[in-house]
Amino acid sequence: GTDGGDDDDAAAPAPAAADDKDGAAVASLLQARKVAFEAATGATRVRLGFRLEATRRQLAGVAGFSEEQIDRAFEDGTAPGRPKACRETPPGFPRGFANARARTCWLSALAQALWHDPGFRAAFDAALATTETREATKPPPPRSPAAKVDALRRCWAAFHQNEGILKADALAEAFGDVADPANGYGDASEAYCALRSALD
């Protein structure tokens, strides 16, 4: 999945396996919400209809799946595979983040905004060039200030690559104390404040 969990490179699945897993989660989510909508009546049906449409819009606008991919998953549960937006992003331009369950977009937005800030990008790149990487040292305590900086460092390394899907797993784990414990959602501005405190 893409909403938290271990982001250890040694334990990460191969890209194709990750795509299949995310696609299966998308198809399962759509099918479950479709069944709930079709079984409901009255005001509940209206509410679930809005939720289903919102899910489709999130999968297209945030996760990057095409309408064709979403339609197939909605109609018969076909796993859509890799988001179309990730396949079509021009070389050298940061890809979109996987967000199959639509719970980490707030962290993806933060990371992308920082990447496109020339001042922050230059300063962070310079800092990384002069510090020892975390792979050779003991991992920081979970959700600590050091863990937040380390998660962004790992995300930064993925940005610098020209292929492969981006994931917010490490960010979701490190910023878990900023998210709502009930659903995993959070606010990008609160995550930014937490990161600023961690960098100070």
**What's residue 138's pLDDT?**
77
Amino acid at 161: Q
**What's residue 106's pLDDT?**
87
Comparing CA positions, the residue from 157, 16, 182, 161 lying closest to residue 171 is 157
**What's residue 194's pLDDT?**
93
Angle between helices 188-199 and 105-115 (to 10 degrees): 50
Question: If the chain, 200 residues long, is cut into consecutive pieces of 10 residues, what is the mean pLDDT of each piece?
Answer: 39 42 78 91 89 80 76 85 61 61 80 85 84 64 91 86 74 90 84 90
Sort residue 164 into left (φ over 0), alpha (ψ -120 to 50) or beta.
left
Query: Does residue 166 sit in helix, strand or coil?
Result: strand
In angstroms, the CA 191 to CA 168 distance is: 13
Comparing CA positions, the residue from 110, 151, 145 lying closest to residue 4 is 151
Q: Are the C-beta atoms of 3 and 184 separated by less than 8 Å?
A: yes
**What's residue 61's pLDDT?**
66
82 is written with which tokens?
């890799």
**What's residue 137's pLDDT?**
66
**What's residue 4's pLDDT?**
41
